[in-house]
């Protein structure tokens, strides 16, 4: 393949990859998960995220299979703290969630690391970019993936388990594995649903009319 051919293929390739990523819930993610080299490649992709001030405000904590039992106990405890009347089968279901998907990571953002001028919103945006890069690389390697959140992320016991500081926010779990079933891809919004443009009269929905020079005054 010539360099020119490769370059013209890149937008199509990227669009294909982006469309291929969809949430595959952890209960539908089976072995094999990424091996060590693949996981390193997936995590390297996160490093390409924009990061104002190069604070590296986010990090991923791997939860290997051997310690999932510790997480299971925290899921169960968090449920019982929230709902003292939770039935044993509900507690068991909470516990069981820790064992789904072969590869499990926790995404954490530190609101205080480095320059305090960079606020939490910017740090969260950087984390969102990092996790999307990671998900796309996992997709490119053939893995299914999911982000999951839940009330347990705020539970004291879980925060202690992951050694979180008061400034740390546990954002979501990232699950990776081989998809053994998938739903039809969901309908994506059209760009017209989320684009508007500024005019002298205010903000108007949709794209701006095409102009010869986009910087010319309207
Ligand atoms: C931060 C975050 C947390 C999420 N947590 C959950 C969750 O707890 N349970 C769930 O079913 N989906 C969760 N999702 C996945 C979204 O529901 C999913 O992305 C959405 O349905 C769109 O589907 P798609 O990923 O296939 O495009 C989460 C997504 C994000 C961004």
pLDDT recorded at residue 210:
74
CB distance 157 to ligand 1 below 6 Å? no
pLDDT in tens, 126-149: 999 999 999 999 999 999 999 999
Cβ atoms within 10 Å of 147's Cβ, excluding its own: 15
Residues of the chain with pLDDT under 70: 1-7, 211-218
Query: Among all chains, which residue has been given the structure tokens 């669009």?
Result: 15
Q: Compute the distance between CA of residue 101 and CA of residue 44 in angstroms, rounded to an integer.
A: 21
pLDDT recorded at residue 185:
86
Question: Which token pair is 182?
Answer: 């998938």
Instruction: Of 39, 79, 50, 72, give the one whose Cα is nearest residue 174.
Output: 39
What residues have CB less than 8 Å from 139, skipping those under 6 apart? 17, 20, 21, 145
pLDDT recorded at residue 216:
60
CB distance 18 to ligand 1 below 6 Å? no
pLDDT recorded at residue 218:
52
What residues have CB less than 8 Å from 80, skipping those under 6 apart? 86, 91
Buried b (16+ CB within 10 A) or exposed e, 21-37: bbbbbbebbeeebbeee
Annotated domain spans of the chain = 13-183
CATH class of 13-183: alpha beta
pLDDT recorded at residue 76:
98
Which of 172, 173, 174, 179 is the pocket-test mutation for ligand 1 (most atoms within 8 Å of CB)? Answer: 172
Query: Among all chains, which residue has been given the structure tokens 């990776």?
Result: 176
pLDDT recorded at residue 1:
43
Q: Compute the distance between CA of residue 69 and CA of residue 97 in angstroms, rounded to an integer.
A: 10
């Amino acid at each position: 393949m010539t360099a020119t051919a490769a370059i013209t293929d890149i937008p199509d390739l990227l669009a294909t990859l982006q469309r291929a990523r969809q949430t595959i819930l952890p209960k539908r993610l089976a072995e094999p998960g990424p091996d060590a080299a693949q996981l390193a490649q997936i995590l390297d992709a996160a490093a390409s995220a924009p990061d104002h001030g190069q604070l590296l405000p986010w990090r991923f904590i791997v939860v290997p299979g051997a310690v999932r039992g510790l997480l299971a106990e925290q899921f169960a405890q968090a449920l019982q703290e929230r709902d003292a009347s939770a039935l044993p089968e509900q507690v068991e279901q909470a516990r069981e969630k820790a064992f789904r998907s072969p590869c499990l990571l926790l995404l954490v953002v530190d609101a205080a690391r480095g320059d305090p001028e960079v606020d939490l919103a910017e740090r969260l945006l950087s984390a969102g970019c990092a996790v999307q890069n990671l998900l796309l690389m996992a997709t490119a390697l053939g893995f299914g993936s999911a982000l999951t959140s839940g009330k347990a992320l705020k539970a004291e016991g879980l925060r202690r388990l992951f050694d979180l500081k008061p400034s740390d926010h546990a954002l979501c779990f990232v699950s990776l594995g081989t998809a053994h079933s998938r739903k039809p891809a969901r309908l994506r919004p059209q760009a017209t649903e989320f684009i508007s443009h500024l005019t002298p009269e205010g903000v108007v929905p949709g794209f701006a009319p095409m102009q010869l020079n986009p910087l010319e005054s309207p």
